[in-house]
Amino acid sequence: MFDSVVRSRRVVTAEGVGPASVGVRDGRIEAVDSYGADMPAREVTDLGGVALLPGAVDVDTGVHVPGQGLAESYRMVGETALRGGVTCVVASPAPARPAITCADTLRVHQRAAASSPVPVLFLGGVTPGTGPLDLADLQAAGAVAFRCSLSDGGAPDMASLDDARMRKSMAELAALDSVLLVHAEDARELGAPPVSAEQRPPRAERRGLERVIAAARVVGARTHVGPFTAAECAALLAAAGPIGVELSARTCPHYLCLPSEALAPESPAHACRPPVRSDANRRALWSALLAEDSSITTVGSGHLPAHGLYTLEWSLSALWTAAHRRGRGLVELARWTALAPAELLGLGGKGRITAGRDADLVAFDPLARVVVPPVDPSPYAGRELTGRVEQVWVSGRRTVPEDVPDGLRAEGP
Domain that holds residue 150: 54-345
**3 state DSSP class of 194:** coil
Examine the domain organization and report whether 143 and 259 are in the same domain.
Answer: yes
Q: Are residues 298 and 363 in the same domain?
A: no
CATH number at residue 309: 3.20.20.140
Name the nearest CA neighbour of 309 among 345, 280, 275, 278.
275
Q: pLDDT tens for residues 53-87?
A: 999 999 999 999 989 999 999 999 999 999 999 99
Q: Is residue 350 part of a domain?
A: no
Do 30 and 108 lie in one domain? The reply is: no
Neighbours of 179 (CB within 10 A): 21
Q: Are residues 41 and 100 in the same domain?
A: no
Residue 271 included in any domain:
yes
Domain identity same for 84 and 197: yes
**HEC readout, 253-283:** HHHHHCCHHHCCCCCHHHHCCCCCCCHHHHH
Identify whether residues 127 and 48 lie together within a single domain.
no
Query: DSSP letters of 29-78?
Result: EEEEE-TT----EEEEEE-TTSEEEEPEEEEEE--PPTTS-HHHHHHHHH
Q: Which residues contact 126 (CB under 8 A, 6 or more apart)?
A: 101, 135, 146, 147, 148, 158, 161, 169, 180
CATH number of domain containing 406: 2.30.40.10
Judge whether residue 408 has pLDDT over 80: no
My answer on whether 386 and 285 are in the same domain is no
DSSP annotation of 242: G
DSSP code string of 132-175: HHHHHHHHHHTEEEEEEESSSTTTTTSPPP-HHHHHHHHHHHHH
Which residues sit opposite 365 in a β-bridge? 388
Q: CA 320 to CA 253: how far, in whole Å?
A: 9
pLDDT number for residue 409: 38
**Domain boundary, last residue among 345, 366, 400:** 345
pLDDT in tens, 270-323: 999 999 999 999 999 999 999 999 999 999 999 999 999 999 999 999 999 999
